[in-house]
Structure 1
């Protein structure tokens, strides 16, 4: 109970889905939560996924989980999925395929039942096994934290502090006879080898309390990791610009200590891809190395992620083909709301008299021009080879390409920037610059106002 409260696992009124495999750990969890449900003010729901890995035995596991829930007056839901088939179709290991399907099942139930939490039966031995396996793979501080008591404020692990021996004792004392998955006793999987061979060897030859020791290591490392996380999150907010499926890491972030910088990069990858599976230290280091090179360089990462050096800033986004130049011309009418459905844009153009007291400064998407200087037609188009215009404050022409380079606009975005033209002259690079030729001056009599927004 104290561990549950320390980690704020439940709120009063929570609907809690309990993952029940029928084995010793999940059955113990179900009974413990059933004992505490009134004190915690929670509603329990049993959930079982039949993986179809052990034929008739898998069906018996499902039947046992169902009857156990019924005996405790707990609502029960189950699903049956051939994990071997999923594994082949998705080119995943059975373990990964099972995990993916299991969590999809939980997410479907959360929506269907309007549930708040999912309780999982990981224990102290699982924690020790996880830490050892991660150390053998060369994990960092965050990896050595191991299994977290609460993840995403949804997945909770109330018996994470109980050892397998304590769970077995609880089941025996309460006359609970769970199902035994005999595949857990076979040392054909890496985790089973750690559980059945490595940990017993360590207990016998090095430290009889290795389970407690590794759990203590997790608690110690967690404090340091939490501090680094707080610092890196603040720096992430300071140095990163986040938009839809794109994160830009400002060049200033790369002067930070690598412990913080690497966490910022992982945070950016997480924001773009929504998980960090298949991303390793080598990918983080390659991004740090990329930032030291010239602008325009890029690298590809797993999951179709592209990372680009754009004038020292690092752009991380899903790789999409550079948009092709749009050759269409969109003719715009004055004193009308011009809707361009294909571009999801609305262009409103009005002529207004200039009053002495009125200032015409505008914003990025509202601009004012000397109406008497313009030549119709008024056209919205996109860039084409050889485009030039005279930016406000300059006497000569400048290539649009050079303007984009000076403004450090990524190549992938240049074909998407609208240009407003008066006849053959570019008057406005929308969102960036207006032309000197059509500026509002003291001699201006009539003003053309152009407003550009999104179609609602």
Structure 2
């Protein structure tokens, strides 16, 4: 086993010389064999090893004895040792999560703290080829995300360093043989023999069947995992380019806005990956009840001809299609209504991040989508900037009569969630001068009697 694991470490560049390596050690055969193996190579690699042992508080005195055993072996092998107690029972009730998930979350929170405390380069864990096959089978049955089928990563970023798994290329049987060879007497967790937990069910009932059909199934699934992972790296890089071109991701991870026309220009394979990357960005942890049905719903929105459609996703995430965009947002949309007075000259900042700057000039700029100009002596001040109100109408330059603001929004295909906060400029008599970025009022630019013009400049910082 030693030669095989050493070659695996070098192939995947799992360690570097003089590294600080934390080792997750439960007292079981996998983690004890890993700790022993790392002790055997630490002088050659110049490694500093720190063993981390966790009492999850789930098996009473037995779990305390597991931690004590690890501590004693660390003293015998001259390894630095750290232990902690995690109240999984209270945490899972508080967070309404299953035992295994709650234990994992608390355990990794502890690992993060220790990575920071020791400024460690690596966290080494004892997952092996059997674990990999179990994981891939579980994910295959549970969901349809291709990346999830890659299984357990050999190496991934974690805090300032990496999580590494040097034993993924060897089976549990080989590890147990290693323990026997080196007279390691690991602790046994009796809960591993119970099939009430999902992973145990696969280990006890499914994996033996797979091994009967293919004695090399462990190596086959590990090679498949590596191939999927390598393909995924390239495809996700391409999907990231798609996202940069067609999706706006809000910095607080609460919202994403997808441009449908641009998004649909890319191959379906990249669209699907981009969809999952968006969800990975928005969700701190992907919900267990998120599955291929939600992916189908996303593509339904993408190709549906209706201008306004919405779908609910787990944990309060909503996908809202409005004309040419799909909005990913947590919770209900709460528009911010406002009424502000705009002094001349002067400026005001809007809740959406934009700004309106007013000035008086004899040489106005040419009008554009974001610049409004009219004769100063044809309007009544002060000017008001506000959001729309029921029944709002305006007279539009070049048109007879007036038109409802609501109808203008519909004609211009403005998303529903943007209409309630769209800025409107009025004079003191209530005449709508400018529906910013869309329509201008009836005032024509002519030579003013006193030569002065009002110029309004809307500076858009909100990607409206």
RMSD: 3.4
Structure 1 residue 164 corresponds to structure 2 residue 172: yes
The partner residue of 1:191 within 199, 208, 223 is 199
Alignment partner of 2:308: what SS?
coil
Residues 388/13 of structure 1: CA separation in 2 closer, same or farther (3 Å cut) = farther
Q: Give the counterpart of 1:85 among 77, 83, 90.
A: 90
What does the per-residue CA deviation read over 1:185-224, in whole Å, with 9 as the maximum and x for residues that have no partner?
3333332232234333443x42333322322333344455
Check the 8 A contact 1:150/1:156 in 2, yes or no. yes
**Residue among 303, 307, 320 paired with 2:319:** 307
Structure 2 CA distance for aligned equivalents of residues 13 and 420 of structure 1: 65
SS for the counterpart of 1:445 is coil
2:3 matched residue in structure 1 = none
* Of 30, 37, 43, the match for 2:35: 30
Q: Please, which runs of 5 or more residues in structure 1 have no aligned partner?
A: none
* Alignment correspondent of 2:344: 334
Figure out how many residues of one structure are paired with residues of the other and give that number. 446
| Equivalent position to 1:212, from 192, 213, 219 | 219
Alpha-carbon distance, 1:308 to partner: 1.6
Match of 2:431? Answer: 425
Q: Are the equivalent residues in 1 in contact too, given 2:86–2:107 (CA < 8 A)?
A: no
Name the structure 2 match of 1:319: 331
| 1:351-430 map, 5 Å | 351=360, 353-355=361-363, 359-361=365-367, 364=370, 368-391=373-396, 397-423=402-428, 424-430=430-436
In 2: Cα distance, 1:11 partner to 1:229 partner: 27
Q: Note if contact 1:15-1:43 (Cα within 8 Å) is conserved in structure 2.
A: yes
Q: Normalising by structure 1, what TM-score?
A: 0.84
Match of 1:279 in 2: 290
Q: Which moved more, 1:168-177 or 1:300-309?
A: 168-177
Q: Contact 1:392–1:433 (CA<8 Å) still a contact in 2?
A: no
SS, match of residue 388 in structure 2: coil
User: Matched residue of 1:286: which SS?
Assistant: helix
Indicate the residue corresponding to 2:255 in structure 1. 246
Change in CA separation of 1:29 and 1:249 when aligned onto 2, cut-off 3 Å:
same
**Structure 2, unpaired ranges of 5+:** 1-5
Distance verdict in 2 for CA 1:73–1:421, change over 3 Å:
farther
| Alpha-carbon distance between aligned partners in 1 of 2:453 and 2:82, rounded to the nearest angstrom | 68
The worse-fitting range, judged by mean Cα deviation, of 381-390 and 41-50 is 41-50
1:237 aligns with 2:248: no
- Please report how far the alpha carbon of residue 114 of structure 1 lies from its aligned counterpart in structure 2 after TM superposition: 4.2
- Matching residue of 2:130: 125
**C-alpha separation in 1, matches of 2:242 and 2:185:** 52
Q: Distance in 2 between matches of 1:109 and 1:312?
A: 47
For the residues of structure 2 that align with 1:8 and 1:392, how far apart are their CA atoms?
Answer: 68
Partner residue in 2 for 1:3:
8
Return closer, same or farther for 1:336/1:262 CA change in 2, 3 Å cut-off: closer
What is aligned with 1:269? 279
Distance 1:309 1:344 in 2: 23
| Per-residue Cα deviation, 1:68-121 (whole angstroms, up to 9, x for no partner) | 445555544333123233333333221111112222222333444444543322
CA 72–259 in structure 1, closer or farther in 2 if over 3 Å, else same? same
CA drift of 1:29 comes to 2.5
Q: 1:241 to 1:408 in 2, by over 3 A?
A: farther
Q: Is the 8 A contact 2:23 2:123 kept in 1?
A: yes
Q: Deviations over 1:119-145 (max 9, x none)?
A: 322111101111222333364543332
**Aligned 8 A contact 1:360 1:440 in 2:** no
